[in-house]
Amino acid sequence: MIKKFIRKILGVKDKPVATSTEPVVLGPNEHRIDPRLVSSNAIRVTSTLQENGFKAFVVGGAVRDLLLGVKPKD
């Protein structure tokens, strides 16, 4: 907390957070998501896009809901 205060006064910026452009892919044993909860439409759309050379993933709130064991709304 004091370091943050001193940095703010002196204008020293924190180191930038490294970002990765590649997704982290977790296997079923790691994420424990029930595939039956994923919408068949979401699977169809992502599969179609991937088959045609695009990168497509289920992301965001849908993943949050799946990790909580809830059927995603969107």
Name the domain count of the chain: 1
Please check whether residue 45 lies inside any domain of the structure: yes
The pLDDT, as a whole number, for residue 61 is 92
Tens place of pLDDT for every residue, the chain, 74 residues? 777 777 777 776 666 676 778 878 888 888 888 888 899 999 999 999 999 999 999 999 998 998 898 888 87
- Token couple for 57: 């993933």
The reported pLDDT for the residue numbered 56 is 94
69 in any annotated domain: yes
Note down the domain range covering 68. 23-74
DSSP 3: H
